[in-house]
Homo-oligomer: A and B are copies of this chain.
Amino acid sequence: MKQFVVIGCGRFGSSVAENLYKLGHDVLAIDGHEETVQNISDKVTHAVQVDATDEHALRSLGLRNFDVAVITIGSHIQSSIMATLIVKELGVKYVVAKAQSELHAKVLYKIGADRVVFPERDMGMRVAHNLVATNILDYIELAPEYSIMEITTIDEWHEKTLLDLNIRSRYGINIMAIKHGNHINVSPTANDVVHRGDVLVVIGHNNDLKRLQK
Contact = CB atoms under 8 A, between A and B. Distances in A.
A76 interface: no
B168 A187 contact: yes
Given A143-B182, A176-B174, A125 B19 contact: yes
Contacts of A146: 177, 184, 186
Interface string A105-136: 00000000000011111111101110110000
Interface residues of A, number: 54
8 contacts: A16-B128, A25-B132, A70-B131, A96-B127, A119-B123, A119-B127, A142-B201, A177-B203
A66 interface: no
A32 to B, nearest CB: 16
Interface of A: 2, 4, 10-16, 18-20, 23, 25, 68, 70, 96, 100, 117-125, 127-129, 131-132, 138, 140, 142-143, 145-146, 148, 150, 168, 173-174, 176-177, 179, 182, 184, 186-187, 201, 203-205
A132 B23 contact: yes
A132 B2 contact: yes
A190 B140 CA distance: 25
